[in-house]
Amino acid sequence: MLMGSLEEQLRPQLLSGLAYERLLAEIISGRLEPGQRLRLDLLAHSWAVSRTPVREALQRLADMRLVHVSPNAGTRVAAWSNADMIERARIVGALLEGVALAAPTADRGTDREADGAAGDALLPDSSCELMVYLDLAERLISRDLRRLGAHLVRDHIDPLRLFVDRETAHRHGVNLEPGRRQRRELLTAALAALDRRDAVTAGETLAAFSARFVSALAPAPASASAPA
């Protein structure tokens, strides 16, 4: 039997991924609020796709506890809060610290190119340190944990990337500006340590960064003002 074209084989998977990314962004941004009904037929019709990719996307989000499926109430956006993002940040931080500490050190003579040094580029002045940190986490966790790493990226890092967008964070009462300089200094030190294969320093500085990241995700007091 002749197999269909590669495009035909990949299309359902691509559509499912696109539906997942769109729904995830809508949920994390708050445009889809907790408790809001998600109607499979309406979503599929509005995006001009079949029900299958939307159903698969909803199942992925249900696995992440961002969507709740009930036989009686139907499919709805699950109740979630900043505490859920803080928990994700804690998990990512612990995994990244462990991966960094387990990385080959310089005195073992490991080939840099084969291992893929993580700190090749220092932190650009215009970059968001939280995004650079999450990109680093994705790179190292995916590399060292392989298939499990891909699930961890989807379930923990992808939502955090969306949440730390300045506008989205502000909508959830989070001010990411305080402590930014200290976070940049810690991440710069961690990247430099990874580049020279100093696993101990990399682990320590990443742990310190993670602690500040977690603190930054807590809702800011109503009267708090962001320093320059």
Residue 213 has pLDDT above 70, yes or no: yes
User: pLDDT tens, 166-176?
Assistant: 999 999 999 99
pLDDT digits (tens, 9 = 90+) for 158-202: 999 999 999 999 999 999 999 999 999 999 999 999 999 999 999
Architecture of 6-77 per CATH? Answer: Orthogonal Bundle (1.10)
Q: pLDDT: is 190 or 225 the higher one?
A: 190
pTM of the model: 0.82
**pLDDT averaged over every residue in the chain:** 84
Give the whole-angstrom CA distance, residue 182 versus residue 187. Answer: 9
